Structure 1
Amino acid sequence: MKSKELSELIFEGVVTLTIVYLLYMGMLMILARLVSAPPVLLRQMPSLRSVVLIVDAFMSIYRDIFQWIAAIFAGVFTWWRLARRYKQMQLGHILDELHYIAAGNFDYRIDANNSGSYVDVVNSINTLVESTVEAMEEERKIEQSKDELITNVSHDIRTPLTSIIGYLGLIEAGQFETNEEATRYIHIAYTKALQMKVLVDDLFEYTRVRQPTTPLLLKTINLGHFLEQVAADYELESRKRNVEIEVFLKTDPLMVEVDVDKIARVFNNLISNALKYGHGATWIHIEAEKIGSEVVIAVKNNGERIPSKALEEVFGRFYRVENSRSKETGGTGLGLAIAQSIVALHGGYIYAESDEKETKFVLHLPLEQKGKKEEKANA
C-alpha cells in the first residue's frame, strides 16, 4: 500500500470517528435535556414524567450501556467505511493495471496475492489475457507460416522455371548445333516442368487435406492385403537400392475403415522417404497390429539416424533433413506434412522416432470412423 493511500485511509477513519462522536454527543444531549425537563412539562405529560424518573434513577447504568453500544457501533461503522474504501483502492489498482496491459504490455500479469476479495476476478483477467496472447501468437505464427509458404513455393517454382526459360530460350534463339542437342534441351525443360507440376499437385493436396471438413471416401479393407500391395509397388525401386521391403502383421486379418486413396498416399510418402533418405538401409519393415480400438502401424528402416532436432520439425512444410534439395532425392518437402494431415483427418496421429538401430514412423488409426459424416464408398 502506498503512503498516499495509507494517509487516505487514516483520514477516512478520523472523519468517520468524528461523525460517530458527534452523533454520540448529540444523543447524550438529548438524554440530558429529557432528565432536566421543566416541571410544568412533566405535569402535562405524565408518561414522560415516569420515563424521566426511571432514566434519572438508572442514569449511570444507561450511560455505561449507551457508551458500549456507541463504541461497538463506532468500531463496526469505521471498519465498514475503511473496508469499502480499501476495496475501492484495490479496484482502482486493477483498473490501472488493466489499462497498462491494454496499452500493449501483454507480458504483464496482475498480482493476485494483493487483490483481496478480487482474487477470483484477477485470476479470470490473467487467464483472459493469457488466452488473448496465445491467440495473437497463433495468429502471428499463421501469418509467418503463410509468408514462409509463399517464399518456399516461389523458390521451388522459380528454380525449375528459370531452367525452362533458359533452355527454351536457347532453342528460340537457335543456339544449338544439332537436333540431338535441341532435343536434349527440350527434354530438360520437360523434366523441369514435371517438377513444377509435382510441386503444384502436392501443394494443392496439402491445402485440401488441411481442411477439417475434407470428406473421406471410406471403405473397410483388409490392411494386410493393402500393405502388401503398397510394398509391391516399390519392389523395382527397392531392388535397385538393395533394400528389402517386408510386411509383418501381428494381428491377421486386420480390418480397418479408411479412405484408401488418401491412406495409400501416406504409405507411399513414408516408403518413398525411407528409400530416398534412409542412407545405408538394407531393409524396410512395415508392422501392423490391433491395440484396443485402433490399429498401430510402424514403417521402419535401418538407415541413417535422423537427428533429434530434425524429428521435431520433420512434419513441417517444405522441411528436409538435408541442407539442400539434391537432384537425387528430389521431392517438395510436403510429403510428411500431407501424411500427417491425412492421418489427422482419420482421427489418428503420427510421430517419428530414430536411434542408432532404426528409424520408424508410427501411425495410430481408429479401426472405425465412428461419429463422422463422411460418405462411405461402395465396396
Structure 2
Amino acid sequence: MKKERVKLTATEKSELFAEGVITVVLLLLLNLSVDILINLTILQNKSLANGIYFLKKTVTFAGGRHLWSWQNTFLVIMGLGDLLVLYWRLIRRYHQMQLRHVISELHYIAQGHFDHTISFKVKTDLQKVIDSINSLVASTVNAINEEKAIENSKDELISNVSHDIRTPLTSIIGYLGLLKSGVANPADQQKYLNIAYMKAEQMKSLAHDLLEYTTLKSTNIKLQLAPLHIYSMLEQVAAGFEFEAHEKGITFNIETRPKDLTIQADPEKLVRVYNNLIANALKYGTDATQINLIANLVNNNEVELRVENNGAAIPADSLKKIFERFYRVEPSRNTQTGGTGLGLSITKSIVDLHHGKIVCESNDKWTRFIIYLPLNPKNTKN
C-alpha cells in the first residue's frame, strides 16, 4: 500500500499560517531595528561613511557599473536570511505536527487496536520510528495470530483425538456387549471378536502415533546420527511392503545417484519417514502401478530423496494442508483405511529435525513427495 504524507487538519493549517505571519512580523521589526542602528552608526562616524563612499566609487564591474547601494545590498542579505529563518520555523512546526500525529496513532494502538499501522510517511528520522512501530505491530499481530492458531490447534487436537478414540471404542463396547449378553449366536461370536480386535488395534495405532508426534515436537529430542547407506536402506524398506504391493499390482523401482550415496542421519527415524510415505502411496495411490524410491546427490551439502507413485492425483486444495496433523484427503473422517491422519505430520517433523524440508507435488501422472536433507545435519545452522 502506497503511503501518503501527513494530512494536516484545518486547525493545524491555521496554526502553521499564524506561525508564518508572526515570524514575518518579528523579522520585519528586527530588520527595521538593525537598519536604524546601522544608519545611526554610519551618520555618527564620518570616516566610516567616507570609507563606504570611496569603496563604492572605486570598485567597478563590466560596463563601468559601480557597487550597488549598501542599504539595498544589506536589505537583500537580510531578506535571504529572513527567508531561511521563515522556512526553518515553518518546517520545524510542521515536524512537530507530524510528531503529534505519530503520538496520536500510538495512543490509538495502545487502546487495543494492535493491528493498526501508521499509514503515512515523513522525510525525517521520525520515519525510522514509524517503521519500527509498524514492525512491532506486525510482530504483535503475528504473535496474536499464532496464539489463536495454537489455541485452535489444541481444540482441534482434543476434538480429533476424542473422535478417533470414541469411534472404535464405541464399536468395541458394542461388540463386547453382544458377546457378554450371550445374545450373539456362535457363528457371529468370532466375527465380533475380530472386529473388536481390529478396532483395538486402531486405537493402539492412534495412541502410538500421538505419542510419537508429541515426542518429535519436543525440544529435548536429539537425533542419533550415523552413516546411512541410502540404497541398502531403500531395499530393506521396499522389502517390507513387497507382499502388500504385489497384491495391489504395484512394483518398486529403486535408484540412487551415486550408487554408494551415504549420508549422516538417524536411521530409525528416516526409515519411519519412508514407511509413512510408502504406506500412504499404497493406501491412497488409487490405480497406481509403480512406486519409485529415488535419491540424488544435489551438491556437496545436500541430497534429494523422492517417493513417487503414478496413482490418482491429490487435489490442489489438499496439497496445502497435507502435512497438517489429522488431515485426511478424503472428505469424511472414517478410518477404514487404517490411517490416523498423523503419518505425514510425523514425517515432516522428522525431516525438520534433520534440518531439511519436504514438499508434495501432484498431477495426473505422478504424485511426488520430495525431501531435501543436508548430508550432515551437524553442519547445518539452525
TM over 0.5: yes
Report the Cα distance in structure 1 between the residues aligned to 2:289 and 2:136, rounded to whole angstroms. 54
Report the Cα distance in structure 2 between the residues aligned to 1:68 and 1:294, rounded to whole angstroms. 73
Report the Cα distance in structure 1 between the residues aligned to 2:320 and 2:265, rounded to whole angstroms. 27
Report the Cα distance in structure 2 between the residues aligned to 1:312 and 1:187, rounded to whole angstroms. 37
Aligned positions of 1:22-101 closer than 5 A: 22-28=29-35, 30=37, 52-54=45-47, 63-64=71-72, 66-101=74-109
* Counterpart residue number, 2:276: 269
Contact 2:175 2:196 in 1 (8 A): yes
* Counterpart residue number, 2:128: 120
Report the Cα distance in structure 1 between the residues aligned to 2:320 and 2:35, rounded to whole angstroms. 83
Report the Cα distance in structure 2 between the residues aligned to 1:282 and 1:149, rounded to whole angstroms. 35
- Offset, 1:75: 2.5
Report the AA paired with residue 329 of structure 1: T
- Offset, 1:65: 5.2
**Partner SS for 2:377:** coil
In structure 2, do the counterparts of structure 1 residues 296 and 371 end up closer, same or farther at CA, with 3 Å as the change threshold?
closer
Aligned pair count reads 357
The Cα offsets for residues 346-370 of structure 1, whole Å up to 9 and x where unpaired, read as: 1211111122222121122222223
In structure 2, do the counterparts of structure 1 residues 343 and 35 end up closer, same or farther at CA, with 3 Å as the change threshold?
closer
- Offset, 1:119: 3.1
2:22 to 15, 19, 33: 15
Report the Cα distance in structure 2 between the residues aligned to 1:31 and 1:216, rounded to whole angstroms. 88
Q: Say whether 1:207 aligns with 2:214.
A: yes
Deviates more, 1:127-136 or 1:7-16: 127-136
Report the Cα distance in structure 2 between the residues aligned to 1:289 and 1:275, rounded to whole angstroms. 23
Report the Cα distance in structure 1 between the residues aligned to 2:22 and 2:284, rounded to whole angstroms. 83
Contact 1:112 1:123 in 2 (8 A): no
The Cα offsets for residues 31-65 of structure 1, whole Å up to 9 and x where unpaired, read as: 577688xxxxxxxxxxxxxx633466679966445
In structure 2, do the counterparts of structure 1 residues 67 and 288 end up closer, same or farther at CA, with 3 Å as the change threshold?
closer
The Cα offsets for residues 119-140 of structure 1, whole Å up to 9 and x where unpaired, read as: 3333333233223222322222
- Offset, 1:112: 3.9
In structure 2, do the counterparts of structure 1 residues 155 and 232 end up closer, same or farther at CA, with 3 Å as the change threshold?
same
Report the AA paired with residue 133 of structure 1: V
1:284 to 280, 283, 291: 291
Report the AA paired with residue 353 of structure 1: E
Q: Say whether 1:133 aligns with 2:141.
A: yes
Contact 2:306 2:368 in 1 (8 A): yes
- Offset, 1:338: 0.5
Deviates more, 1:288-297 or 1:16-25: 16-25
In structure 2, do the counterparts of structure 1 residues 314 and 359 end up closer, same or farther at CA, with 3 Å as the change threshold?
same
Report the Cα distance in structure 1 between the residues aligned to 2:362 and 2:23, rounded to whole angstroms. 75
- Offset, 1:85: 0.7
* Counterpart residue number, 1:167: 175
* Counterpart residue number, 1:320: 328
* Counterpart residue number, 1:3: 10
The Cα offsets for residues 172-209 of structure 1, whole Å up to 9 and x where unpaired, read as: 5x243456655554443333222112111101111221
- Offset, 1:24: 3.5
Q: CA RMSD in A?
A: 2.8
**Partner SS for 2:287:** coil
Q: Say whether 1:242 aligns with 2:260.
A: no
**Partner SS for 2:318:** helix
* Counterpart residue number, 1:310: 318
* Counterpart residue number, 1:346: 354
Normalised to the residue count of structure 2, the TM-score between the two structures is 0.83
Normalised to the residue count of structure 1, the TM-score between the two structures is 0.84
In structure 2, do the counterparts of structure 1 residues 56 and 193 end up closer, same or farther at CA, with 3 Å as the change threshold?
same
Report the AA paired with residue 161 of structure 1: L
